[in-house]
Chain A
Amino acid sequence: MTKVELTTHLHAFFPVLAGRELLVEASTVAEVIDRLEAMAPGFAFYVCDERGRLRRHVNVFVGDEMIADRRRLSDPVGPDSRVFIAQALSGG
């Protein structure tokens, strides 16, 4: 199971995802987002726009690596992966 961690900022919008270990079955980052959307309806539209692209000021890491495919989120994840979703630091 892929382990997902979220910025606490997202916990404020989706309390159902807070205070628990988030483990999902997924083979890509897009599937991770799909699983979280199922747990917390509306979640995907916070992280991605209506074309499924990662929002400009959102980052997703698999392990320590920022994902490469921000348009389709096709970066692979495995059962031992740790996925971290956070707002991008845009300066200031």
Chain B
Amino acid sequence: MQTTSILLGTRKGTFIVRRSEDRWVPQLSGHAGAGSNFVARDPNTGTLWAALGHGHWGAKLSRSTDDGATWEDAAQIKYPEGARYIAPPDPTIEDDTRVRYLDATVLKLWILAFGGDGRIYVGTIPGGLFVSRDGGESFELNLPLWNHESRGGDLFAGDGSGRTAWFGTPASEGGEFAPGIHSIVVDPRRPERILVAISTAGVLESTDGGQSWRSRNKGLMMDYLPDPDAEWGHDPHYVELCAGDPDHMWQQNHCGVFYSSDGAATWSKVSQPEQGVHFGFPVAVDPREGRTAWVVPGKADAQRMAIDGGLFVARTTDGGRSWQAQRQGLPQQNAYDVVYRHALACDGDRLAFGSTTGNLYISEDRGEHWQTVANNLPPIYSVRFG
């Protein structure tokens, strides 16, 4: 059954868009004035969760058990005493060759995910995956990922290797340059299989509930490294799987669109730059048909805007071999919408996406036709059905 509400995280609060007769009506539903990075409903409990960035007051987790009528601070995500990380080279410091160990504090809560086993996951900057096994009453840092050899080893015990393959993103609340987990995918068939994607490192997979992790970056081509086939250094923007056929995975990467039909064991580049399908942030996957996916292309990394002022969604139904531009109902002149990584969602035949210019668009027919639901919302960070 299709859901009849859409949850929006925006720069100025949490909105809920509800179906009222034949219209979609957005309403500010909490956290007025605060940044709401990601809002989602836990399908196991019905609780709504919001990952907030309060600016002055830091990152906070908020929850609602009454469909957004009231919100309360949840158990807070905190890095444990002694948690350190090796800072990526600071691009603002010339010839920055020092190894700098930083005490970890939460710089951003970026994404939430829910496992079929009831676990709740939170991805953060500076690169910590937090897990709750008690329905969100408490969260703890996943240490095997935090201590992974790719980021220098166990820095609780010592100084590790002194080398990290996890580089930074400036997406933290205060602009600090640090790695960030923006994608968490839990396999609907087996909740012990979890994948995370990191800007900037790549994709890692655990098949034992988070006790061990391995890289899943084979086939990703990196345009900005001397070795395009490097194991690390990749910049996935968002990773999603097909709920009904979870070996089919999609990735909108800084360097193109990638598709895997073998559970992320190998990736294939399926961009078609001549059709504009290359750069972007989000990707949505059909929940039943793993070869069908949607992206919202931008011009390029150096021009993060709709291509030539005409906004479109691109859909493939054949695993990326061909793409169709879907423009009906979307502005085709003077539109410069940018759609962030969490701001496109698919729920059966219905899709929705929101942009940093505060526009929200919905399609009821798999992207063939779009309607504009709102034009003057705050910059939209996340769009989720639920």
Within 8 A of B (CB), among A42-92: 42, 45-47, 49-51, 53, 55-58, 87-88
21 examples of A-B residue contacts, CB within 8 angstroms? A10-B57, A13-B57, A13-B73, A42-B76, A45-B58, A46-B54, A46-B57, A46-B58, A46-B60, A47-B57, A50-B78, A51-B105, A55-B56, A55-B57, A57-B56, A57-B174, A58-B56, A87-B55, A87-B56, A87-B57, A88-B56
Q: Which of A47, A51, A58 is the most central at the interface, judged by chain B CB atoms within 10 Å of its CB?
A: A51
Q: Which residues on B are within 8 Å of A, measured CB to CB?
A: 54-58, 60, 73, 76, 78-79, 103, 105-106, 174
Shortest Cβ distance from residue A10 to the other chain B in the assembled complex, whole angstroms: 8
Q: Which residues of A contact B105 (CB under 8 A)?
A: 49-51, 53
Given A42-B73, A50-B79, also A55-B103 (CB < 8 A):
no
Shortest Cβ distance from residue A61 to the other chain B in the assembled complex, whole angstroms: 15
Q: Which residues of B contact A58 (CB under 8 A)?
A: 56-57
What secondary structure prevails in chain B residues at the interface with A?
loop
Q: Which residues of B contact A45 (CB under 8 A)?
A: 58, 60, 76, 78
The bracket for how many chain A residues form the interface is: 10 to 19
Known: A42-B76, A50-B106. 12 other contacts (CB 8 A): A10-B57, A42-B73, A46-B54, A49-B58, A53-B105, A55-B58, A57-B56, A57-B174, A87-B55, A87-B56, A87-B57, A88-B56
The CA of A49 and the CA of B78, in the complex, are separated in Å by 8
Instruction: Report A18-61 CB contacts with B as 1/0, cut-off 8 Å.
Output: 00000000000000000000000010011101110101111000
The CA of A55 and the CA of B55, in the complex, are separated in Å by 10
Shortest Cβ distance from residue B174 to the other chain A in the assembled complex, whole angstroms: 6
Q: Which residues of A contact B103 (CB under 8 A)?
A: 51
Shortest Cβ distance from residue B94 to the other chain A in the assembled complex, whole angstroms: 24
The CA of A72 and the CA of B73, in the complex, are separated in Å by 25
7 A-B pairs with the lowest CB-CB distances in the bound complex, closest first: A50-B78, A87-B56, A49-B105, A46-B57, A57-B56, A50-B105, A51-B103
Q: Which of A13, A50, A87 is the most central at the interface, judged by chain B CB atoms within 10 Å of its CB?
A: A50
Q: Which residues of A contact B58 (CB under 8 A)?
A: 45-46, 49, 55
- With both beta carbons as reference points, the residue of chain B lying nearest to A42 in the complex is identified as B73
